Amino acid sequence: MKLTQHFSLEEMTKSQTGSRKNIDNTAPPEVVENLKALCENVLEKIRIHFGRPLSINSGYRGPALNKAIGGAKNSQHMTGQAADIEIAGMDNKILFCWIKDNMEFDQLILEFYKEGTPDSGWVHVSWNSQGNRKQVLKID
């Protein structure tokens, strides 16, 4: 199922951990709507601006999957409002800074980035249709 031009429900729900541990990560309808809003309002705009595919490292995580990977108990991944992303060959800090300066978002986190190692870490970005906080964090 296509959520938007460049993003499918399958890529927003896939999980290597889920596959390995045989965890069903099927998104309920309300989560699918949140994933669609995230793709429309954030991910598509990033994809169009940079003209390059985004890698979705983690999208929706159902409660069992979120627990299996040690995710936060209140993670927006569990509501389909967040994705961890990268663009191959692009410094994750550049991606993070561009989103911070040019996009609407709820939460933006540069996670486990090591200065001088462009492909280290990833960028967590979320969208909340009920209102965005524009919260910016860095996790080492």
**12 with 59: CB under 8 angstroms?**
yes
Within-domain flag for 84: yes
Q: Can you tell me the mean pLDDT for 44-62?
A: 97
In a domain, 3, yes or no: no
Is residue 10 classed exposed, middle or buried when 0-12, 13-18 and 19+ CB atoms within 10 A define those classes? exposed
Q: What is the pLDDT of residues 64-122, one digit of tens each?
A: 999 999 999 999 999 999 999 999 999 999 999 999 999 999 999 999 999 999 999 99
What is the pLDDT, as a whole number, of residue 101?
98
Range of the domain at 26: 9-139
What is the number of domains present in the chain?
1
- Does 127 fall in a domain? yes
Domain annotation covers residue 32: yes
What average pLDDT does this structure show over 10-24? 96
Looking at the domain assignment, is residue 21 inside a domain?
yes
Residue 2 lies in a domain: no
> Does a structural domain hold residue 63?
yes
| pTM score | 0.95
How confident is the model at residue 68, as a pLDDT?
96
Residue 1 lies in a domain: no
Please report, for the domain that includes residue 32, its CATH number: 3.30.1380.10
Scan for tokens 């906080």, then name that residue: 133
**Nearby residues of 67 by Cβ (< 8 Å), 6 or more positions away:** none
